[in-house]
Amino acid sequence: MESLSYKTKSVNDRTADKQWVLVDAEGQTLGRLSSEIAKLLRGKHKPGFTPHVDCGDNVVVINAEKITLSGNKMSEKKYIRHTGYPGGQRVTTASELLQKAPTRIVEKAVKGMLPKNRLGAQLLRNLRVYAGAEHQHEAQKPQELKFNK
């Protein structure tokens, strides 16, 4: 009887099958949508997932201004940043950030769900977020992906 040889295939930059995916954020809950986007960026939905390689898809998010937050998070969730100067801590609520820069609220939520290292920064470059329904990636023919509400 011949012996079977099983080999573990490790994906690298050349062999990664990267797709373009379009996600509509209209009416979606921020946290649930962000975790699905993070899985797509990371590549965890693919059978050849390799933890230390960028094997995920390129994700285009549209209608970021129409995202929802559950409960009282729109007024009570706070985003804290620091200017770098003494006494320079600034606090912004989710509703203020959604009015000022609606794309940033999705980017920050997804960034928090990615690894905190060089790989996470590289994966974040595969995310494009747009406030409205228009985007400039029609040439890549992104596949529209629907998540359950």
pLDDT at 99: 96
pLDDT at 9: 80
Domains delineated in the chain:
20-69+102-145 (3.90.1180.10)
Quick: pLDDT tens for 61-88.
Answer: 999 999 999 999 999 999 999 999 999 9
pLDDT at 147: 83
The segments of the chain whose pLDDT lies below 50 read: none
Coil, strand or helix: which one is 97? helix
Is pTM, for the whole model, over 0.75?
yes
pLDDT at 5: 79
Alpha carbons 114 and 147: distance in angstroms, whole number: 19
Look up tokens 């203020």; give the residue: 96
Asked if 59 contacts 126 with a C-beta cutoff of 8 angstroms, the reply is: yes
